[in-house]
Amino acid sequence: MKYLVTNIQGYSIHDGPGIRTVVFLKGCGLECRWCSNPECISPLPEVGFINKLCTRCGKCAEVCAKGAISFAEGIPNIVRKLCSGCGECSLACAEKALILYGKPMSTEEIFIAVKKDKMFYDSSGGGVTVSGGEALLHPKLVCDLFIKCREAGIHTCVETSGYVSNSVIQQVLHQTDYVLFDLKHLDSQKHLRYTGKPNDLILSNARLVIESNTETLFRMPLIPGVNDDLKNISDTADFLHSLGNNACRIELMPYHQLGKGKYESLDKEFSMPELHTPGPEEVDLVKKTFENYGITCLISR
């Protein structure tokens, strides 16, 4: 069975303990309005176009069997309703102006790719992290990959929004050493407004993860004007306290604008253009507020 992988990123130090390789899978149950990985939201393969790399050679249009690439004023235009995401155009593009987001890979192929860096995992206490999108939309892949990793002595970590069924969480936890669990907003209506889904299932799964005694780090994307207010910080701290001492820490992930170019490459509109990257003083204030509520707070730099 093949799964769509958007990227396998080596030497990551921000997605679990030690040096890690992160496998990014396609498909997500949420549509966070600030998402920095829009190429991972859809479960289908997509082609991205980077205008500044294009030499206008026309080879992409020549190889497209669907006729999904046209040239207007000399600039390639992807007709999205015709594009099947086969990736032939990206293979023909020597300048890498066309990128296929969603390469089909088997569990064995993914394992071969990630085990190459085992020496770095062993020396740093790192391992493999499966992310997305939503990694747990693919529980069979995660379980099968993690079984292989554990047999090879590789630490396993899953990054999740928690928006999956309770049974999926329980299934994957049996093969998982570490969980990165996002808490985006404690107010369910605001969570619905900004991510497209309420948070009831997410909070239920957060409790399930903690009760499993799997080592867990809660993380909060810090979005100015969305979840950085005192009420949400207080509610989040209260929720973490309700889960017990093992849950009383959180990592802040300050919003950045690095994903905006991906929206342009996919012909998608970024719905929150007014967002700014929080400055050091803003981030430190949130950190100190969490600490005042008795929560150990880290910052992802």
User: Which SS3 state, helix, strand or coil, does residue 268 take?
Assistant: coil
**What backbone phi and psi angles, to 5 degrees, belong to 8?**
-120, 110
Alpha-helical segments (H) within 25-160? 59-63, 88-92, 107-115, 118-124, 139-151
Low-confidence stretches of the chain (pLDDT beneath 50): none
**Intra-chain end-to-end CA distance of the chain, in Å:** 37
- Report whether 270 contacts 263 (CB < 8 A): yes
Q: CA 21, 26, 29: angle at the middle one, nearest 5?
A: 115
On the CB side of 184, CA atoms within 13 Å amount to 27
Determine the pLDDT at residue 240: 98
Which of helix, strand or coil describes residue 272? coil
In this prediction, residue 9 carries a pLDDT of 96
8 Å CB contact between 300 and 250: no
- Cα separation, 248 vs 210, in Å, equals 11
Domains of the chain plus CATH, in order, are 2-42+109-299 (3.20.20.70), 46-101 (3.30.70.20)
pLDDT at position 73 is 77
Q: Is the peptide bond preceding residue 85 cis, with omega within 30 degrees of 0?
A: no
- Summarised one tens digit per residue, pLDDT across range 110-123 is 999 999 999 999 99
CB 140 within 8 A of CB 106: no
- Which phi and psi (to 5°) does residue 234 adopt? -60, -45
Per-residue model confidence (pLDDT) at position 74:
82
The answer, yes or no, to whether the previous bond of 294 is cis (omega within 30 of 0) is no
Question: Phi and psi dihedrals of 183, rounded to 5?
Answer: -120, 105
pTM for this structure?
0.95
